[in-house]
Chains A and B, each alone.
Chain A
Amino acid sequence: MTDNKKIQISDLNVFAGKFQILKNINIELPENKITVILGPSGCGKTTLLKCMNRLTDLYPELRVTGDIRISGNNILAAKEDIYKLRQHMGLLSQRPYPLPMTIYNNIAYGLKLRGVKKRREIHKLVVHYLQQANLWEEVKHRLREPASRLSIGQQQRLCLARGLAVNPGIILADEPTSALDPISSQYIEQKFLELKNEYTIVLVTHVLRQARRIADYVVFMYLGEVIEQGDVHEVFENPKMEKTKLYLGGTFN
């Protein structure tokens, strides 16, 4: 059962026409840990995340080969139930995209998709997930207001609550704090540290200090390839590859 939080990626390749975005990716993401994916812009981090919840299906120009296994199932297989799969993978994107509805319904939307039908149950869970994302106190008086009226930092926490509401086992976060102020970023970081007891977290970030603060496991990518991966201390204190050293040293172009 705990196995369904472990992600094994083997020989993953992604092509866009002749251009190869991801090249022979082999990683094993440990469960209930925070795995940080590092790498310069354009190296394919977002694409890697999108493979994991099959959002790549949305782009007919992308061709994906290889295996991504969660509890033994290859989720790239055609017969995989992608709706179940996506609910198993909470997504937090670079900028918050609140759904065009009220704050309350932003959470209820996912709950209904998950199959919660009773109104009282929905209400209870909405409150629960807003509390989980440290948002409840700020919005409890304005649940029926449009979500777009919240500040960006609040919106990102709403997106986190919304993602948690579908009851995922894994959280995919693509630079979730890059649009946020330091305080809101800290909120999210703190939350991740709490959440990793229950979830496996995959985090893409450009902030090396953030990676150092919260990562357990680090994957360094460059031009679509995984250059180095390992325990956070290992990679940060004793990088084996020249490129990793340069990147972590900040002297990368």
Chain B
Amino acid sequence: MYILNRWQRHWANNTWMIISLLVVATLPFFLFLGLYLKSFLLLHDYHLGHLLFGKIWKPGIGQFGFFPFIVGSIWVTLLAMVISAPICLLAAIYVTQYSKTRLLRIMHPAIDILAGIPSVVYGLWGILVIVPFIARYLGPLFGVDTVGYSILAAALVLSIMIVPFILNILIEIFRAIPVELKEASLALGATEWQSIKQVIVKKALPGIIAAFGFGLARAFGETMAVLMVVGNVVELPKSVFDPGYTLPALIANNYGEMLSIPKYDSALMFAALILLVVSLFFNLIMHFFIIRYNKY
């Protein structure tokens, strides 16, 4: 049997490591390149500003304005985060700092189960529960006439979907903080709430930001559940009760169908490109904050 000598082994190991590292490190770049080349047709003919901020979407007559989709995506994502972030934070604090350990033991598997439910199920549940709820109660309560399929419906379904996801990370983060830190603060005469607010949360801040960042990225890219309840109307939403359309839904609804229209597939690639760039941008900001707050 041929046996590698030490130097050869070393070389072989290193090469593989470097190759795998390169693959991982350049993957986003290749994704970007691929999408860019595919959407080149569109980018070549239209001004980037017109594509991004154009409000009219009529591919049949060559009008490609992505603004309604971008606004729809942002609305849905931010609203979902605004709803779920405080809930997750308070729940994680309660479970790790106040409740008995038994609750944590019960909650952990429960959260995992919630996180594992396919998004179609959440979407269906949204259609069956959230949409009628908005149409019948929430809309009239605010004096709005709505069918229920709306930005708000998508945001609510989405926020429920990302809660287990964010909560899981947050619980791990809070559990990793030693009790002694809290004891140190309490021993100085601080109340439990003061200690949590000024010491525990501060210590956990980089992790909290990371958790929210992951949740945000997840919400921004979520396709199925949103598509089922958002209404899929290309229109700039004026209120959260209006229907809207999101970038992932645009791609999922149309890819492989309307490709007879010139530049349509190029336009969908461009939508994917926007998604990619925005996700990368989110990530970048998130890392900036993590580094900024990680010094303690």
Contacts and interface: CB of A to CB of B under 8 A. Distances in A.
A10 interface: no
Contact of B188 (A58, A87, A146): A87
Contacts of A166: 188-189
Contacts of A84: 189
Interface string B52-66: 000000000000000
B180 interface: yes
A114 B203 CA distance: 22
B183 A55 contact: yes
A110 B184 CA distance: 11
Interface residues of A, number: 29
Contact of B183 (A58, A83, A89, A162): A58
Given A55-B187, A162-B188, A100 B178 contact: no
Interface in A83-140: 83-84, 86-87, 89-91, 93, 95, 97, 99-101, 109-110, 113-114
Contacts of B115: none
Nearest to B97: A58
Given A60-B100, A86-B189, A95 B180 contact: yes
A109 B186 CA distance: 11
Interface in A141-155: 146-149
A53 interface: yes
Interface of A: 53, 55, 58, 60, 83-84, 86-87, 89-91, 93, 95, 97, 99-101, 109-110, 113-114, 146-149, 159, 162-163, 166
Nearest to B188: A110
A8 to B, nearest CB: 21
A162 B178 CA distance: 19
Contact count band on B: 20 to 34
B202 A101 contact: yes
B189 A114 contact: yes
Nearest to A86: B189
- The interface residues of chain B, by DSSP majority, are classed as helix
Given A83-B189, A97-B178, 13 more contacts: A58-B179, A86-B189, A90-B187, A91-B187, A99-B184, A99-B198, A100-B296, A109-B185, A109-B198, A113-B194, A147-B296, A159-B184, A162-B188
Interface of B: 100, 178-191, 194, 198-199, 202-203, 295-296
A55 B179 CA distance: 11
A37 to B, nearest CB: 17
Contacts of B199: 99-100
B178 to A, nearest CB: 7
Given A55-B187, A166-B188, A148 B180 contact: no
Given A100-B199, A100-B203, A148-B296, A93 B180 contact: yes
A90 B184 CA distance: 10
**Which residue among B180, B188, B202 has the maximum number of chain A CB atoms within 10 Å of its CB?**
B188
Contacts of A95: 180
Nearest to A54: B186
17 contacts: A53-B187, A83-B191, A86-B187, A87-B189, A89-B187, A90-B187, A91-B184, A95-B180, A100-B199, A100-B296, A101-B296, A109-B190, A110-B188, A113-B189, A146-B295, A148-B296, A166-B188
Nearest to B189: A87
A101 B187 CA distance: 17
B202 A100 contact: yes
Contacts of A97: 178, 180-181, 183-184
